[in-house]
Structures are given as C-alpha cells and as structure tokens.
Amino acid sequence: MRTTDAVIIGAGQAGLAMSHCLAARGIDHIVLERGRIAERWRSERWDSLRLLTPNWMSRLPGWSYRGDDRDGFMTMPEVVGYLEGYAAAAPVIEGVAVRALHRAPAGYRLETSAGAVAARAVVIATGQCDVPHIPAMAAELPSAIHQVTPSAYRNPSLLPDGGVLVVGASASGVQIADEIHRSGRPVTLAVGRHTRLPRRWRGRDILNWMDRAGVLTQPAEQVRDLAAARAQPSLQLVGRPDHASIDLGTLSAIGVRIVGRVAGIAAGRVLLRDDLAETTAGAQRTLDRLLDRIGAMADAEGAPDEAPPAPLTLFERSPSAIDLAAEGIRTVVWATGFRRDYAWLRVPVLDPTGEIHHAGGVTPAPGLFVIGLRFLRRRNSNFLDGVGADAEALAAEVLAHLATCGRAAA
C-alpha cells in the first residue's frame, strides 16, 4: 500500500493551490485526480465559455497571469493551459479516482481505482460545482423534451430544433439563454433569485471595484447568516471581449422572453410564479447597496460619474404557465446550480444536508480538511482568485496536524 503524509483529492485550482502550499512547507503529498488536471474546465463547460473574472483575477500562490491582456477573459483552453502550467511541478496522479475514504488507526485509508493509499492527512478538493442540481420536478417533463444541464451543454447546434426553456438566471443561465437565442431559436428564461451586476461602472470593471473595496475577501465570520451567504446565486456576469453586460434587460432587448420562477410541471405544462417584480426588485436592492459602497470609493478617487443601472420594470407580469407542445419548446436547460456528492466519504463529517461540516476548511475529524467551497473562509473562497489564501491557511493546519502525529517533514 502506498503511504504518504497527505493526499489531496482533486486537481482543479483548489487542489493545485493546496499542493503548492504543502510543497512550500516540505510536506510529502500526492494529488489524486480521477480525470486530468483541470478536468472540469475541460469537459464540464460549454464551448464558448470564458471566465467571468478578468485575467488579473487568477492569482494563485506562486502563480499569476503573465499575458498581455490583464483585463480580458480566458477561454476554457486558456484556463486549462494556465492550470497545467501551475501543475508542472505538482505530484499529481491523473486517472485515479478515490472510491472511498475511511478513518484508519494512523490517519486515513483511501480506496482508489489504482489501489489503497494511507495518509496522515487528507484534503478534499473535489469542487463546489460538483454535480449539477436538477429539481425533482424535472421527472414530470414529457419524455420528448430534451433536458440538459450547463455541465453537459456544449453549443446550440447540438440541441433539438425548436424552442428552449432555460431555468435559472445566474451566470450560466443568462449566458446560455443569450447564446441560444442568438443562434436563432426562441428562448424563454425562467428567473428566480439572482444577483444583477453591470460589467463595468464608473470607468472600471465591477470586479476591480469589488476587489479593491474588500467585498470579495469579506471573511466568513463577518457574515450574519453564513448558510444564506453560501446559498447566494452566482453573479450575473459574462466575460466577453467587448466587456458587455448581461442581465434581464439586455436579454429582453434581444427578444428572450423573461418569465417568473418555475413552480411545478404537470401535464406538459410548466407552471410559473408571478414573482418577477419581486425578484428583480430584490436584485436591484442588492445592486444599489453594492454601488453605494463602491460609489463612495469612486468619488474619493475622482472616477467619472455614472448613474447606477436603472431598475428593470419590464417584467411585472409573467404568464402563469407554459404549454411546452403548443409553444414548440423541445429543450429545457436546468441552470439551477450545483450540489456536492460525497458518497465516497465514509468519515462521519457530513451535516444533515449532506455538506461537509467544517470551520474554515477544518473538519471535526483530525487531519481531514476541505477546500474550494463557497465562503469557506471568505466570499471568494471558491474562485480562482480566492482559493490561494485558504490554501495557505489550511497548509499551516495540515502542518500542525502532522506535527502532532510526529510525522511532519523537516
């Protein structure tokens, strides 16, 4: 059986940042990845996707963007190349899936597709966006309807002819609705809670303001309701070369039909709530609060004046139902978020909702850590740009744990 001080499960940015920080502390470790390095950026993203974070916001411990387009947005092959470069010296073993993780007398035992591994410490880096969440009501859709999630969607040409219903208006939903509509199909977008943001405001990218205002590094302990913060919808942003914004207004302007939240499905009809006025008003309140905060900073810097984006008032009425057959809708895209699947985790650290119980990535099981989750330590913990600080902090925790086992490397 292979033995090492620490095993990291997963070679996305979180696992690689962790590996860099363990190596910097001289900790013997391996990274087990069931696919290839950066697998999810290779095989679970659509063809046209670019990062919604600008290139300068890809700072990892010991690695940062070195190209000449700091304000641009990487394509998926570019992200993969970026992470492959980062992984060049990392002890990643590709093509090895962890099938079970157990406690063992001296730490942990991992059953993998390549045999057993023993380790004193384990870091779980299997991703916040692990398994696409499809609401149970999807089972009520007629079998003729093609259903797809953003992880499996590639481009409009692979969808059956006809109209498309996109459910969910966060980053993935709005981008996919926009792309499919522009390909010439009628698109309906069902909107729930969302986070509206302009791409640029007062002369700068909105993420540049948010970064400098400390919004993205807000610590978890400063958040009143952490569970709610962890469940917040993702930012309604797109990373286009022209730095354009995307929101319900831009989508409506090109002809996407905007409707309320999907409440149920019955007899070939998708039932909708009449809640657009409420959800858009909620998004506007959050946006106004954010822009107030940024505005004070922009004023102090003498940034050009710009009014906040106007409230969206176009959608006060939503139909109460859509008859899929009558409207020629043949595809439903479930852009309804992600869940985590820890079926392989045989250590009792899951809470009743199936999430790993942890404090800043430190689980109640000595020597077991998790990284890459939303608001693990800060608002940007699951972003390329935020995972590094967590990796630094958790590497210190791993080192301290190994020291208590008497096994820390020199």
Residues 6+ apart with CB under 8 A from 33: 10, 11, 15, 39, 92, 93, 94, 95, 96
Q: In the bound complex, what is the minimum distance in angstroms from residue 142's beta carbon to ligand FAD?
A: 28
Question: How many angstroms separate the CA atoms of 19 and 26, rounded?
Answer: 10
Residue 39 as a binder of ligand FAD (CB under 6 A): the answer is: yes
Q: Report the nearest approach of ligand FAD to the CB of residue 31 (Å).
A: 9
- The residue behind tokens 């009143």 is 224
How far is 24 from 225, CA to CA, in rounded Å? 35
Is 12 an interacting residue with respect to ligand FAD (CB under 6 A)? yes
What is the rounded CA–CA span in Å between residue 124 and residue 365? 12
Q: Which residue lies nearer to ligand FAD by CB, 52 or 399?
A: 52
Q: Which of 22, 30, 32, 258 binds ligand FAD (CB under 6 A)?
A: 32
The two three-digit tokens of residue 231, written as one number: 């469940």
Which run of H or of E encompasses 393? helix 387-405
d(CA 401, CA 321): 56
Told to check if 344 binds ligand FAD by CB under 6 A, we report yes
Using CB under 6 A, which residues numbered 111 to 150 contact ligand FAD? Answer: 125-129, 150
Tell me which residue has tokens 């980053």. 171
Q: Number of residues interacting with ligand FAD: please give it, by CB under 6 A.
A: 32
Cβ 49 to ligand FAD, closest distance in Å?
6
129 or 290: CB nearest ligand FAD:
129
Q: Give the residue from 237, 319, 310, 234 showing the smallest Cα distance to 275.
A: 319
- Whether 69 contacts 52, CB under 8 Å: no
- Comparison of 128 and 188: residue with beta carbon closer to ligand FAD: 128
In the list 121, 256, 384, 399, the residue contacting ligand FAD (rule: CB under 6 A) is 384
| C-beta nearest to ligand FAD: residue | 12
Q: Interface with ligand FAD by CB under 6 A: which range of 18-26, 44-52, 182-190, 288-296?
A: 44-52
By the rule CB under 6 A, 51 interacts with ligand FAD: yes
Least distance to ligand FAD from the beta carbon of 327, Å? 27
